């Protein structure tokens, strides 16, 4: 692998036969040379606009009024930062089912607010999150760390992905002092979230174990019984050619033992763990991390904030690209996003959760765009004309 030095390759020749060797390339070249999966690319095409919509929605809802809104002038100043290439007004008009632009005569400028449909979806999401097992997810995330602790700012990076409420510091952490505790960080104005001593010995089963248990009981099991103990589900996109050499190396990798994401490893044990075992453990940690997210996806930049805490010494992006049967990396929307392959089918989650279902409703409005608006406008015109006609007939009748 490109992440290994020449000396390490020479020292561990036998181990390096397990994985696919590749020529020395830059990280950018490696990303560019990956096999594109049209299903995930189409999905990310829709998501890149949804992410912009969510940012604007949050800005509107952050306004503490009964009918929250923001001025177009304010959004226009953020156009470059939000990657609104044609300006804020143009972007908002693309989604009339979500945003409503109106003129405020008192302030002599146009404003934007959410439509009733968008407000209703936001309310449904808040209700779904309130009944979501967020405490368990947060405990699992902390349990993957060697020290059972994580920087609070790292968790803030992925609060939406984990399905946490936006006030989770007060509504989750403070209300569960028997599980979580906050302590000052090494840098000014930073905090560390950690599990209480009572929670350190709590054991968890990784999500991949559920697949192994089901797969092992199948008559048409796709993985050999000798491999299943340390195997991961591999799903390759249609059209991706797999050589015999590649398949053989994947089978060898499947048999490789490793320490699971929740297994506590001491310094001495880690130093003796073989390189490929550590690499497979890193794959297991990323796999479990994605399994804890609402949509089984996360940006590379966000998960990279956890590398040190999870003791991952490898480049996350290269790690993902090294395992195309487990993960998929999309570069749409000027961001690198990781998907858990096995969780998706036809661009949708196979096993959706309530929060995901609500968020898909907002995505549906994004996909809808301006469709349906012309019909509504014509209906409004027809209604107006009918009312005028009725009024004219009434006046005519009264004059007679």
Half-sphere exposure of 19 (CA within 13 A, CB side): 22
Instruction: Give the per-residue pLDDT at 187.
Output: 77
Sheet strands (E) in the chain: 70-71, 99-104, 109-114, 149-151, 180-184, 191-195, 297-299, 327-330, 337-340, 344-345, 348-349
Structure confidence by residue, pLDDT tens digits, 256-312? 999 999 998 755 455 444 688 889 999 999 999 999 999 999 999 999 999 999 999
- The interaxial angle of helices 38-61 and 116-130, nearest 10 deg, is 100
pTM over 0.75: yes
Q: Please give the distance of CA 103 from its chain centroid, rounded to a whole number.
A: 36
The rounded distance, in Å, linking the Cα atoms of 56 and 242 is 43
Neighbours of 258 (CB within 10 A): 19
Q: Of the candidates 233, 235, 288, 283, which has an alpha carbon nearest to the alpha carbon of residue 258? A: 283
Instruction: Give the per-residue pLDDT at 372.
Output: 74
> Which residue's entry shows tokens 């089901």?
214
Structure confidence by residue, pLDDT tens digits, 210-268? 899 888 777 766 666 667 889 999 999 888 888 999 999 999 999 999 999 999 875 54
Confidence of residue 394 (pLDDT cuts 50, 70, 90): very low
Instruction: Give the per-residue pLDDT at 19.
Output: 44
Mean pLDDT in the chain? Answer: 84
């Amino acid at each position: 692998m490109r992440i290994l030095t020449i000396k390490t390759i020479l020292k561990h020749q036998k181990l390096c036969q397990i994985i696919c060797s590749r020529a020395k390339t830059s990280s950018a070249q490696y990303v560019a040379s990956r096999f594109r999966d049209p299903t995930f690319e189409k999905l990310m095409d829709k998501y890149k606009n949804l992410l912009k919509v969510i940012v604007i929605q949050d800005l509107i809802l952050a306004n503490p009024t009964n009918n929250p809104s923001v001025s177009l002038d304010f959004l226009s100043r953020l156009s470059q930062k939000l990657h609104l290439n044609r300006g804020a007004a143009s972007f908002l008009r693309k989604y009339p089912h979500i945003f409503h632009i109106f003129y405020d005569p008192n302030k002599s400028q146009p404003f934007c607010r959410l439509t009733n449909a968008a407000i209703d979806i936001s309310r449904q999401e808040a209700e779904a999150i309130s009944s979501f097992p967020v405490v368990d997810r947060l405990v699992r995330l902390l349990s993957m760390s060697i020290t059972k602790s994580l920087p609070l700012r790292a968790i803030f990076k992925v609060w939406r992905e984990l399905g946490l409420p936006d006030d989770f510091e007060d509504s989750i952490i403070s209300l569960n002092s028997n599980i979580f505790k906050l302590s000052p960080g090494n840098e000014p104005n930073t905090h560390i979230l950690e599990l209480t001593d009572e929670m350190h010995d709590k054991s968890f089963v990784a999500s991949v174990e559920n697949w192994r248990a089901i797969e092992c009981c199948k008559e048409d099991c796709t993985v050999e019984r000798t491999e299943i103990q340390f195997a991961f589900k591999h799903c390759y996109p249609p059209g991706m050619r797999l050589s015999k050499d590649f398949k053989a190396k994947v089978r060898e990798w499947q048999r490789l033992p490793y320490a699971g994401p929740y297994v506590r490893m001491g310094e001495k044990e880690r130093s003796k763990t073989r390189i490929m075992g550590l690499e497979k453990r890193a794959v297991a940690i990323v796999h479990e991390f994605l399994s804890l997210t609402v949509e089984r996806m996360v940006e590379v930049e966000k998960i990279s904030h956890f590398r040190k805490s999870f003791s991952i010494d490898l480049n996350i992006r290269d790690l993902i690209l090294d395992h195309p049967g487990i993960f998929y990396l999309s570069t749409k929307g000027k961001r690198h996003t990781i998907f858990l392959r096995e969780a998706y089918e036809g661009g949708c989650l196979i096993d959706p959760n309530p929060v995901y279902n609500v968020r898909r409703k907002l995505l549906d409005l994004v996909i809808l765009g301006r469709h349906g608006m012309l019909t509504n406008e014509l209906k409004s015109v027809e209604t107006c004309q009918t009312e005028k006609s009725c009024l004219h007939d009434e006046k005519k009748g009264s004059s007679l």
